[in-house]
Amino acid sequence: MITTHIAPRIQKVRFARKAENLSWVQRELRDLDVPAEFARVVEVKELTSCEYDAFAKQLLRDRDWLYNFHGMYTDALEIRSANRPTLYIRTEGYRYARYVGLAADEG
C-alpha cells in the first residue's frame, strides 16, 4: 500500500453509506437515485489487487489506515488499484469506510 498526499482536487462522486462491500455500492448507485456531490480528494492510496479485493469485500471492517486519515468533512481518500474501479472514501473519523463512492460518471 502506497499513500500519497496530494494537492486537494475536486471530484464529483456518488456515495453509498455504510455499504458492506463493493457490490453493495454498485447496486445502490445503479438502483437508487443517489445524487452526485463534490468531494475534495486530499490523499491517494495505491493498493495491490489482493489488498483492494480484501478491502472491497469488507468495507465495514475497522482499519487503522482509515482511522489515520484526518480529512475534513468533505475530504475524501481515493483508493486505486490496477484494473479495479477507483473508490472514494469518506471516513468522517471512523475506522471503517463510512461512505464509499464512485466517480459520478462510473456509477
- Residue 25 is inside which H or E element, if any? helix 22-31
Q: Are 99 and 15 in contact (CB under 8 A)?
A: yes
107/92 Cα distance (integer angstroms): 22
Each of the 107 residues of the chain gets a pLDDT tens digit; together they read: 888 788 899 999 999 999 999 999 999 998 888 999 999 999 999 999 999 999 999 999 999 888 877 666 678 999 999 999 999 999 888 889 999 999 997 54
**Residue 76's closest CA among 18, 29, 8?**
8
pLDDT at residue 70 in the model = 66
* DSSP per-residue codes, 34-80: PPPEEEEEEEEEE--HHHHHHHHH-TTS--HHHHT----TTEEEEEE
* Grid cell for residue 105: 460518471
